[in-house]
Structure 1
Amino acid sequence: MYKFQETLDIINRRIEELVFTEKPKSLFDPITYILDLGGKRVRPALSLMAYNLYKSNFEEVLPAAIAIEVYHNFTLLHDDLMDKADMRRGKDTVHIKWDDNTAILSGDAMLIESYKELAKVDKKVLPEVLNLFTQTTLEVCCGQQYDMEFEKRIDVSVDEYIEMIRLKTAVLLACSLKEGAIIAGASDKDAQYLYDFGINIGLAFQLMDDLLDVYGNPETFGKKIGGDILCNKKTFLSINVLLSDKKEELLSWFDKGRENPQEKIQAVRSIYNGLNLKEISEKLIHEYYRKGIECLDKVGVEDSRKVELKALAESLLYRQS
């Protein structure tokens, strides 16, 4: 069985081989730029690792894995524009380095390039893989739309939030795993168990991201702490406050913090602490993680072949705070 880092090395080599020679150059340069920024590459790695439960000829699954990574980076390019973000992985975002219109059009081209990669999958499984990929890409768009709509609402329920992060984050992880399984010739049951594993781990991952944004160590988390608070972002934590008797106290901070952001972060964190939301969130994270591992345990291969996937899931979830 290949380890996570070994699959990453394979993926990174293949991405380095991607050369966009089409013209105009100004359309494709931003694609090369954002792919060269790197990233965790977790999604394509999951495709290879799911495939590797059954087979090891990665040439079969690499087109699907690369398609997922190109698509994921397309979503980041457009997300950065919608969020008016200045930095991505320590570098200027595409709309800052170029302009808004270039970010839109180059992003559109990336979406098309992802389908060009996917079309290289063996024709025997291509229809099933294509249907899954297409459904997933649409679901991610739905999740992003819900996320934007939630910015204007203060009555978002916990169930609505869980559904939003399922669509925006979890389904692409699940798709990555299921595509790898399909291409490897896994049974329908195994492919679905791996999909469900991805959904639950994806939910746990996003909930942990919410938690680390408030309680994490910026040196190990990889970004500044408190960003969600400063942006009044709807997260599992803030939504629970808005459903409590501390609602008005939190709302009073929504228009504050421009002059002293640390004061706002500390005040909102104090509200979270008073409602024991850190502990409540951790409990829910552990529950989704447990459900995910239960799904993985049902996959019909030897347990020894699942060790690397379990280790990756654990590393994603229990990132240093």
Structure 2
Amino acid sequence: MYSQSQLLDLFNEYLSAYSFDRSPRSLYDPVKYVLSLGGKRIRPVLMMMAHNIYKEEVANILPVAMGIEMYHNYTLLHDDLMDRADKRRGKDTVHRVWNDNAAILSGDAMLVLSYQLVGSCDSSQLQEVIALFSRTALEICEGQQFDMEFENRNDVSEREYLDMIRLKTAVLLACSLKLGAILAGASIKDADLLYEVGINIGLAFQLKDDLLDVYGDPKVFGKNIGGDILCNKKTFLLINSLVKSNNEQKVILQKWLSATEYVPQEKIAAVKSVYDELGIRMYCEQQIEMYCERAENCLTQLNVPDERKLQLKDIIYNLREREV
């Protein structure tokens, strides 16, 4: 079996060789730019990893894996435009380098290209593959809409938040794993189990992100701590604090949520202090552990030898331990 790093090397080699041989260049240059910004390529790697559980050779599914990565980067391009974000992975975003129209149109081209690539699979699997991919793409749109609506609400429930991150983040990880299994000819049961592995990994991953933004080590995390607090982002921590807080704590939270002028470090310290009083960090860590255990339980049920599950087990272990 391939290691995770070998799968990543295989994919990056395919990505580097992928050519945009159509015109106009002004449409495809932003696409190439987005894909050149790097990233962990976790979605195509997960897809190849799932495939490799059942089949030794993974090169034949590289075009579909490329389609998944193309689609993911399309969502990032449009997210950056909607958020008016200036940077992505330390580089200027597409709408900053070019303009809004370029970001919209090149993003649309990436969506079409992703369907072409995913649809390049064997015709006997095409209907199942496209049905799953299309459902996932629609769910991600739903998740993004919920996320935008939550910006203007202070009454978001934990259940609503978990549903949102399942749609916005987890379903594409789940889709990647299930597609890898489908293309390898795995049983329906195994493909569904791998989908659930992806859902639980995705939920744990996002909750860990929320946690690290407040409690991570800035030297390790790679960015300033407290960014979510400063922009009033509805994270798992803030949502639960608003629900669990007493009247005095609610007043403190509402004061900082409505403040238009403040010293950033004072706001971070005040909100974090409420989190600490409520034990929100421990509660979040417990939820992360629960989702990791659920992912492991699904993995255990796969009808393959245990040694073929080790790569995915490592993914779950690294998710628990990650500090970035």
Structure 1-normalised TM-score? 0.97
Find the residue that maps to 1:57 and give its secondary structure.
Answer: coil
Who is 1:149 aligned against? 149
Gaps of 5+ in 1: none
Who is 2:284 aligned against? 281
Who is 1:317 aligned against? 320
Say whether residues 1:253 and 2:253 are aligned partners: no
Who is 2:34 aligned against? 34
Q: What is the identity, as a one-letter code, of the residue corresponding to 1:272?
A: Y
Shift of 1:318: 1.9
Q: Distance in 1 between matches of 2:41 and 2:319?
A: 12
Q: Distance in 1 between matches of 2:164 and 2:110?
A: 24
Say whether residues 1:189 and 2:192 are aligned partners: no
Aligned partners of 1:257 and 1:264 also within 8 Å: no
**In the TM superposition, what are the counterparts of 1:70-149 in structure 2 within 5 Å?**
70-149=70-149
Shift of 1:257: 6.8
**In the TM superposition, what are the counterparts of 1:159-238 in structure 2 within 5 Å?**
159-238=159-238
Say whether residues 1:306 and 2:296 are aligned partners: no
Q: What is the identity, as a one-letter code, of the residue corresponding to 1:153?
A: R
Aligned partners of 1:50 and 1:178 also within 8 Å: yes
Deviations 1:167-188 (A, max 9, x none): 0000000000000000000000
Shift of 1:248: 2.5
Q: What is the identity, as a one-letter code, of the residue corresponding to 1:48?
A: M
Q: Distance in 2 between matches of 1:149 and 1:4?
A: 37
Find the residue that maps to 1:61 and give its secondary structure.
Answer: helix
Q: Distance in 2 between matches of 1:136 and 1:222?
A: 30
Which piece of structure 1 moves more, 186-195 or 93-102? Answer: 93-102
Who is 1:62 aligned against? 62
Q: What is the identity, as a one-letter code, of the residue corresponding to 1:156?
A: V
Shift of 1:56: 2.0
Residues 1:258 and 1:8: Cα distance change in structure 2 (over 3 Å): farther
Aligned partners of 1:7 and 1:48 also within 8 Å: yes
- Please report the RMSD computed on the Cα atoms of aligned residues, expressed in angstroms: 1.2
Q: Distance in 2 between matches of 1:9 and 1:52?
A: 15
The number of equivalent residue pairs is: 321
Q: What is the identity, as a one-letter code, of the residue corresponding to 2:268?
A: I
Q: Percent identity?
A: 57
Which piece of structure 1 moves more, 53-62 or 253-262? Answer: 253-262
Q: Distance in 2 between matches of 1:308 and 1:105?
A: 38
Q: Distance in 2 between matches of 1:6 and 1:20?
A: 25
Q: Distance in 1 between matches of 2:218 and 2:306?
A: 36
Shift of 1:59: 2.6
Q: Distance in 1 between matches of 2:319 and 2:260?
A: 31
Find the residue that maps to 1:279 and give its secondary structure.
Answer: helix
Q: What is the identity, as a one-letter code, of the residue corresponding to 1:240?
A: N
**In the TM superposition, what are the counterparts of 1:37-56 in structure 2 within 5 Å?**
37-56=37-56
Q: Distance in 2 between matches of 1:303 and 1:106?
A: 43
Q: What is the identity, as a one-letter code, of the residue corresponding to 1:23?
A: S
Q: Distance in 2 between matches of 1:27 and 1:13?
A: 23
Q: Distance in 2 between matches of 1:317 and 1:63?
A: 31
Say whether residues 1:272 and 2:278 are aligned partners: no
Shift of 1:259: 4.7
Gaps of 5+ in 2: none
Who is 1:296 aligned against? 299
Structure 2-normalised TM-score? 0.96
Residues 1:136 and 1:25: Cα distance change in structure 2 (over 3 Å): same
Q: Distance in 2 between matches of 1:123 and 1:9?
A: 28
Find the residue that maps to 1:52 and give its secondary structure.
Answer: helix
Q: Distance in 2 between matches of 1:273 and 1:183?
A: 47
Q: Distance in 1 between matches of 2:129 and 2:316?
A: 23
Q: Distance in 1 between matches of 2:251 and 2:128?
A: 49
Shift of 1:258: 4.7
Shift of 1:12: 0.5
Q: Distance in 1 between matches of 2:17 and 2:264?
A: 43
Q: Distance in 1 between matches of 2:310 and 2:242?
A: 40
Q: Distance in 2 between matches of 1:219 and 1:124?
A: 50
Q: Distance in 2 between matches of 1:222 and 1:317?
A: 18
